[in-house]
Structure 1
Amino acid sequence: MQEIETLTRVLYADTPQSTLYHYTTFSGLLGIVQSRTLWASDIRYMNDSAELRHTADLIAAEVRERIEDGRANSSLLSQFADWVAHWITSGHMLFGASFRSHGNLLSQWRGYSLPGKGVSLGFCPEYILRCAARQGFMIGKCIYEPARQQNLIGQVVDAVERLGGTREDESLSAVERSALYRESFAAVETDLLRIAAILKHPSFREEKEWRIVSPVLTRSGEIPIRFREGHDMLVPYIEFDLAGEGGAPVMDHLYLGPTENMNISMNSLQMFLEQSGIVPKRGIDYCRIPFRQR
């Protein structure tokens, strides 16, 4: 649908201008360097599906307000809200991986690394953009501002109402009308997924996250899907190729996370990177955050 397609293009038109950081553990670093890939997880499984639930909650609130005001097609919008709630677990697949604008935040060390075993990998934004374009990925800046999120969701619901309205026919039965509504919902699914991928709860605004997102997959056989162990479930992911011209990923800068063995940890990290053909342009820095055993 052209309205929402245009909205999506505008949202993903913004491009990063400074180093993009990916927080991970030593184990994650070994895997990224040795495989030359980054794991892009199914966004339905990010933070136990809270990512998509946030968008579903925004849509439900918008629908409820319109129905209460008596200014909407209540049948259409009620079914849309129900469809979105179901779509969270059973719809098309979209995979994403996260980067941060700031490579040395205590909250991120706590959230994405293990005590004494964290690194923040900095990549030149142009390099990530080239890798993304080569694989059909898009990169978007996450949106945290409630007013902007509400405005975006309002535009989505407006489009659904207009599309559903063009298919109204008083001669249709309730069952036939519902079937036409579902066609309208399916028409916006791909772009709604892409929009949902960059809408984050305002409490996470400190992260200043950029997210790479894959093409939308309508069936599991389109791209090889792998699985990793999550907190309490298996998490589907696909590989995002990070190989540079020389084979190894090209890194701009690294931070070593909080550790009680800073000197020898820094030494072994440098040895590993050099052996792997990786020489960060701006070097490696220690985070200088005091180590606290959790």
Structure 2
Amino acid sequence: MFDLISQRLFATPPREVLYHYTTLSGLLGIVDSAELRCSDIRYMNDSTELRHTLDLLGEQVTRRIVAGVDKPALLTTFLDWLTYRVVSGPMLFCASFRGNGNLLSQWRGYSVHGKGVSVGFAPEQILDCARRQHFEVGRCVYTPSQQEKMIDEIIDAVEILDAGNDQVDEVASQNRQWVRRFQAIEGDLLRIAAVLKHPAFEEEQEWRIVSPMISDAAAAPVQFREGSSMLIPWFPLDLRDGQGQLAIEHAFLGPTGNIDLSMNSLALYLRSRGASPRRDITYCDIPYRKR
């Protein structure tokens, strides 16, 4: 049942150009390597990534226990297990895209000192790159009613996991059985959590590229970069098309105090790397405010 919920979330493909917001330094890294650095979901910019799903599950579990369920210990064990796994569980790597490449809220985050750019890729290219590397592409869910329905389905499925296992002599043995079942669905739970976002971020209308679950960093090409206060794990997503080319569909230059020079140097750089956008480069036309 968990796999069906997960599959449903990633069943609708994008139809519009998908934009990735980054800094000029980030752009250099993307174009020169033809790769995108997908961050572990726990270390992404929005610190509430997994916590939001955990909060929703906690609220629903509490309501059910208060209302009366056959096995409250099962749901309590599930929540305790999830709380632990949020920090120390397997890795799931994500990259963020948006259908709108010219959002003021995003420029505020990425155009500090006039150094923001959003790079747009054709949806079919993103889908092809994702599928070839066993990633999935899904649109984030923000509507509270949709999220509540999904959380209900998850908890229903958790209760079904224990069907037919009433006779267990020891509590410890029972808990071990439950944890083994929880571990079997962990990948699907992480994929679901990756696209459930707090309604406050609805304006972003984000799409996520989501990696397979990775349990062993030493056995996969997991790399690390320096963050503001810790090391950030990341995983490379190859952006080259079937012909081995980095094909950029369109790009926006973010607010800057040197529009003409910045537009010119950006165009020169992309052309020198054989990555000139098919639909050219557009200035965002948002007034630049030096901070």
TM bracket, shorter-chain basis: over 0.9
Which of residues 276, 286, 290 is equivalent to 1:289?
Answer: 286
| Contact in 1 for aligned 2:252/2:282 (Cα 8 Å) | yes
Alignment identity in percent?
51
Which residue in 1 is equivalent to 2:240? 243
Per-residue CA deviations over 1:170-200 (Å, capped at 9, x if unaligned) read x421111111111121121110000000000
TM-score w.r.t. structure 1 length? 0.96
Which of residues 155, 158, 174 is equivalent to 1:160?
Answer: 158
Which residue in 2 is equivalent to 1:85? 83
What stretches of structure 1 of length at least 5 have no aligned partner? none
How large is the Cα RMSD of the aligned pairs? 1.2
Which residue in 2 is equivalent to 1:14? 12
| Contact in 1 for aligned 2:110/2:117 (Cα 8 Å) | no
- Alignment of 1:50 with 2:73, yes or no, is no
Q: How far, CA to CA, are the matches of 1:132 and 1:232 in structure 2?
A: 30
What stretches of structure 2 of length at least 5 have no aligned partner? none
Structure 1 residue 283, shift from structure 2 partner: 0.8
Code of the aligned partner of 1:77:
L
Q: How far, CA to CA, are the matches of 2:176 and 2:104 in structure 1?
A: 50
Q: How far, CA to CA, are the matches of 2:177 and 2:208 in structure 1?
A: 33
Which residue in 2 is equivalent to 1:111? 109
- Alignment of 1:27 with 2:25, yes or no, is yes
Structure 1 residue 245, shift from structure 2 partner: 4.7
Q: How far, CA to CA, are the matches of 1:209 and 1:28 in structure 2?
A: 19
Which residue in 2 is equivalent to 1:227? 224
- Alignment of 1:179 with 2:184, yes or no, is no
TM-score w.r.t. structure 2 length? 0.97
What is the DSSP-based 3-state SS (H/G/I as helix, E as strand, rest coil) of the residue aligned with 1:221? helix
Structure 1 residue 161, shift from structure 2 partner: 0.6
- Alignment of 1:257 with 2:254, yes or no, is yes
Q: How far, CA to CA, are the matches of 2:289 and 2:47 in structure 1?
A: 30
Which stretches of structure 1, 4 residues or more, deviate above 2 A after TM superposition? 112-115, 165-168, 244-248
Code of the aligned partner of 1:140:
G
Number of aligned residue pairs: give it: 291
Which residue in 2 is equivalent to 1:213? 210
Structure 1 residue 247, shift from structure 2 partner: 4.0
| Contact in 2 for aligned 1:66/1:72 (Cα 8 Å) | no
Structure 1 residue 233, shift from structure 2 partner: 1.4
Structure 1 residue 71, shift from structure 2 partner: 2.6
Q: How far, CA to CA, are the matches of 1:179 and 1:279 in structure 2?
A: 56
1:133-148 aligned at under 5 Å gives the runs 133-148=131-146
Which residue in 1 is equivalent to 2:98? 100
